[in-house]
């Protein structure tokens, strides 16, 4: 036997003994505790997952429900998908994917909008108390706003246009909202152009005195310019008001001309009224005369017809005995002629005869005389 073997004691292999039936393994309590914790954790996770699923369903419903939009009666809406136009939506309830997928932009189509053109009224940057033309000894076109007229004069013109969108045209809503980067600036430029164009097409006195024609010309120019640039942009001009004046240093001369023109118009109107009255009276008198002539003609015609009928009735008697008929006619005629005669001298046949009234006429007494 070697020294190592002597020094190393013999180690016996452990022999496991089976535990007695009444004894429990030492790790049994730990395993039971771990199983309870695992079950509790599993149940907690399952409850959490249920809550999360409910929350996810609620969030999904809320997400989808957020795409429901109500378009009011006085509005229309543009349906955009990723910023691109899809359709125009009428008033009512609509659904679309929530932002940022879809977007519904509501536009008040019946809302009145107002733009103003003051390029012919005052220069931009003027003081608040100098927004309207000021009297001056010398007109300064670099400071005062003005428009040139067709006869080489100048006017101060301020235009205010009230308009709304044509809700019957879906393309008009799209063009107004998406067709221009600055729609207000565009419409103001159109109105400025219309003011300049209408001023240049007439004289200063016509623009100053006939402002209704001036306003109609501006309105026509606005519509023509808009339709020429974008035929889809349809607007309804509700009102267009103008403030037109001439340079204040010559305004008195224009006003004097207006007074003379008004007097001339008044006199012309009176003359036309008198001519109309005279013509009416003349026509009335002509109708009266014409009616009298027709009445006289009818009476004469009736009389002639009656006499013709009478002669026709007497014709057989005349043809039967000419002499007797002539004597009877003479007697009837003399009786009618001598009805109111006072002194009668009558010659008949070859033997002269004088017929006198049986009762001589009584002499009339003069006033204050004796019988």
| Same domain as 230, residue 118 | yes
The answer to whether residue 85 is domain-embedded is yes
| Same domain as 176, residue 140 | yes
| Same domain as 141, residue 223 | yes
129-165 residue pLDDT tens: 556 676 666 666 666 778 889 988 888 899 999 988 7
| Same domain as 241, residue 151 | yes
The answer to whether residue 370 is domain-embedded is no
pLDDT at 40: 75
| Same domain as 122, residue 221 | yes
- Domain C-terminal end among 197, 225, 249: 249
- State the Cα–Cα distance between residues 191 and 121, nearest whole angstrom: 13
- State the Cα–Cα distance between residues 313 and 326, nearest whole angstrom: 15
Q: Give the bridge partners for 92, in sequence order.
A: 71
262-285 residue pLDDT tens: 899 899 999 999 999 999 999 999
The answer to whether residue 141 is domain-embedded is yes
**Structural domain for 345, as ranges:** 322-361
- State the Cα–Cα distance between residues 199 and 157, nearest whole angstrom: 9
What are φ and ψ of residue 242, in 5° steps?
-120, 150
| Same domain as 165, residue 202 | yes
| Same domain as 158, residue 141 | yes
pLDDT at 10: 46
pLDDT at 357: 53
CB 229 within 8 A of CB 281: no
The number of distinct structural domains making up the chain is: 4
The answer to whether residue 56 is domain-embedded is yes
Largest CA distance in the chain: 234
pLDDT at 16: 46
Q: Quick one: angle between helices 322-337 and 251-320, nearest 10?
A: 130
- State the Cα–Cα distance between residues 356 and 252, nearest whole angstrom: 97
- State the Cα–Cα distance between residues 334 and 347, nearest whole angstrom: 12
Which contiguous run of DSSP H or E holds residue 177?
helix 170-178
Measured CA to CA in angstroms, residue 328 lies from 37, 337, 339 at distances of: 164, 14, 17
- Domain C-terminal end among 199, 223, 249: 249
Measured CA to CA in angstroms, residue 253 lies from 50, 114, 147 at distances of: 91, 34, 19
CATH number of the domain within which 144 lies: 3.30.479.30
pLDDT at 68: 74
The answer to whether residue 25 is domain-embedded is no
Average pLDDT, the chain: 76
| Same domain as 153, residue 99 | no
The answer to whether residue 313 is domain-embedded is yes
- State the Cα–Cα distance between residues 88 and 110, nearest whole angstrom: 15
| Same domain as 217, residue 167 | yes
| Same domain as 116, residue 244 | yes
- State the Cα–Cα distance between residues 98 and 64, nearest whole angstrom: 7
Q: Which two tokens stand for residue 342?
A: 């006072």
The answer to whether residue 13 is domain-embedded is no
| Same domain as 235, residue 116 | yes
What are φ and ψ of residue 55, in 5° steps?
-65, -40
- State the Cα–Cα distance between residues 229 and 233, nearest whole angstrom: 9
- Domain C-terminal end among 249, 281, 296: 249
| Same domain as 229, residue 152 | yes
What are φ and ψ of residue 36, in 5° steps?
-65, -45
- State the Cα–Cα distance between residues 293 and 303, nearest whole angstrom: 15
For the chain, which residues score pLDDT lower than 50? 1-18, 20-22, 128
The answer to whether residue 17 is domain-embedded is no
């Amino acid at each position: 036997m070697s020294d190592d073997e002597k020094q190393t004691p013999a180690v016996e292999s452990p022999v496991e003994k089976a535990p007695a039936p009444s004894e429990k393994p030492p790790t049994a309590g730990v395993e039971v505790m771990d199983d309870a914790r695992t079950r509790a954790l599993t149940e907690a996770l399952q409850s959490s997952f249920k809550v999360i699923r409910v929350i996810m369903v609620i969030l999904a419903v809320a997400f989808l429900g957020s795409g429901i939009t109500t378009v009011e009666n006085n509005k229309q809406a543009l349906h955009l998908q990723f910023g691109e136009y899809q359709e125009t939506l009428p008033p009512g309830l609509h659904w679309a994917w929530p932002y940022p997928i879809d977007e519904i932009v509501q536009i008040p189509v019946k809302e009145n909008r107002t733009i103003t053109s003051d390029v012919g009224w005052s220069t931009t940057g003027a003081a608040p108390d100098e927004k309207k033309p000021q009297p001056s000894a010398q007109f300064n076109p670099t400071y005062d706003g003005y428009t040139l007229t067709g006869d080489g004069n100048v006017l101060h013109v301020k235009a205010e246009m009230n308009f709304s969108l044509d809700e019957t045209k879906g393309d008009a809503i799209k063009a107004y909202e998406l067709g221009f980067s600055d729609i207000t600036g565009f419409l103001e430029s159109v109105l400025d152009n219309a003011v300049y164009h209408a001023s240049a097409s007439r004289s200063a006195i016509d623009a100053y005195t006939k402002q209704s024609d001036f306003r109609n010309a501006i309105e026509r120019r606005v519509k023509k310019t808009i339709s020429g640039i974008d035929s889809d942009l349809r607007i309804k001009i509700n009102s267009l008001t103008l403030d037109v004046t001439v340079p204040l240093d010559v305004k008195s001369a224009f006003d004097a001309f207006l007074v003379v023109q008004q007097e001339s118009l008044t006199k012309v109107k009176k003359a036309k009224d008198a001519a109309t009255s005279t013509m009416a009276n003349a026509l009335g008198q002509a109708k009266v005369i014409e009616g009298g002539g027709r009445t006289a003609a009818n009476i004469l015609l009736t009389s002639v017809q009656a006499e013709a009928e009478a002669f026709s009735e007497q014709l057989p008697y005349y043809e039967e005995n000419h002499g007797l008929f002539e004597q009877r006619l003479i007697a009837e005629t003399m009786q009618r002629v001598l009805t109111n005669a006072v002194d009668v001298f009558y010659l008949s046949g070859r033997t002269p005869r004088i017929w006198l009234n049986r009762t001589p006429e009584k002499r009339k007494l003069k006033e204050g005389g004796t019988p």
